[in-house]
Amino acid sequence: MIHVLKSTYLQPPDVVEQTRPAHLKFLEAEIDAGRLLLAGRQEDGSGGMLITADMSAEDAQDIVDRDPYTRAGVAHYDRLSFNGAYRAPGL
């Protein structure tokens, strides 16, 4: 399954920014490990979006649980999962 992990910030922007460096380092490590395919802020600045590689719901939840934003209580994630049956070559 592919998972779309949508975060919503729970704290004001200045509080979110305090955790942002650790969050970005975490995202880089997850991308390098092949667990995340894409990551970025939502256009309206209310949170972010993560697109996982093909993995179980438990593995996707593990990403959410280990994210510094989750651990610091500055963001909440909602997960939308789909089978990813049709893919671009190489994905």
- What tens digit of pLDDT does each residue of 24-81 get? 999 999 999 999 999 999 999 999 999 999 999 999 999 999 999 999 999 999 999 9
Per the CB < 8 A criterion, the answer to whether 3 and 83 are in contact is: no
CATH of domain 2-79: 3.30.70.1060
pTM for the model: 0.92
Sheet arrangement for strand 36-41: 36-41, 48-52, 2-9, 75-82
Phi and psi at 17, nearest 5°, equal -60, -30
pLDDT computed for residue 89 by the predictor: 84
Domain extents for the chain? 2-79
